[in-house]
Structures are given as structure tokens and as C-alpha cells.
Amino acid sequence: MSSTPPPGTPPPASGLDPAIAARLKRGADGLVPAIAQQYDTGEVLMLGWMDDEALHRTLTTGRCTYWSRSRQEYWVKGDTSGHIQQVKSVALDCDADTVLVRVDQTGAACHTGDRTCFDADVLPLGQ
């Protein structure tokens, strides 16, 4: 699939509403972090990355689409694992530099098979 543009270049054309695209504050790689949260419990499931096209696909298909920085391609959560994220709502934070996607998660959200990407390594406090 297509790659992320080099730093300093405008984002590639996508179907994303130009008003939304104009608000986004992207990193040098053209990406914004996207937090997936279970819509009914508030559980934080994972962090992925989106460019304009991934956000457009997420908004229009109702399934979370991310940009894989390691594979340099789009991926729809659950297409290979069956652990889909059905989108319930999408919001930008106050700075428009992070996307919050509230989803109904089927199965594990983490590639390790854990329910969330934050289950396995809880750090101790007060030490």
C-alpha cells in the first residue's frame, strides 16, 4: 500500500473532510496517535497511529483502520485475527493532536493475545 509522506510534506490526498484535516496536528511523520477505548467500560485497549486516510476509513467504514509504521501499510483491526473494533464514536482531543476512538472490541486488542496492550506490564508506584 502507499507510504507515509516524508517529514515536512503535506499529507496525501484522502477522502477525509477538509475541515477535519485542517484541524489535525500531525507529527513530522504525518501521523497522529489514536487511542482505542472500550466504549461501555472506559477500558483503554491500545494505541495505534493514523494518517488522514486511516482516519477517513475509520469514520466511513465503522472499523478501525491504522497505519502500521513497521510494515508501512494500512491495516484494519481484526481483518486477520477476527478481533475487530467496531467504532462507536471518534473524537479529537483539545489540541487536535490525538484521536480517541471508542469501540466495541471483539476478542483481544493486543497482538500478544491480551485483552489490552496495557495488561502485562503494570509498573510499581511509590518506589
Please state the residue numbers annotated as binding site for Zn(2+): 94, 110, 117
Q: Binding site for Mg(2+): residue ranges?
A: 93, 95, 97
Four-CA torsion 19, 67, 80, 117, nearest 10 degrees = -100
> How far is CA 39 from its chain centroid?
15
Q: Binding site: residue ranges?
A: 93-95, 97, 110, 117
Cell reading at 116: 489490552
Q: Where are the beta strands (DSSP E) in the chain?
A: 32-38, 44-50, 65-68, 73-76, 85-92, 99-105
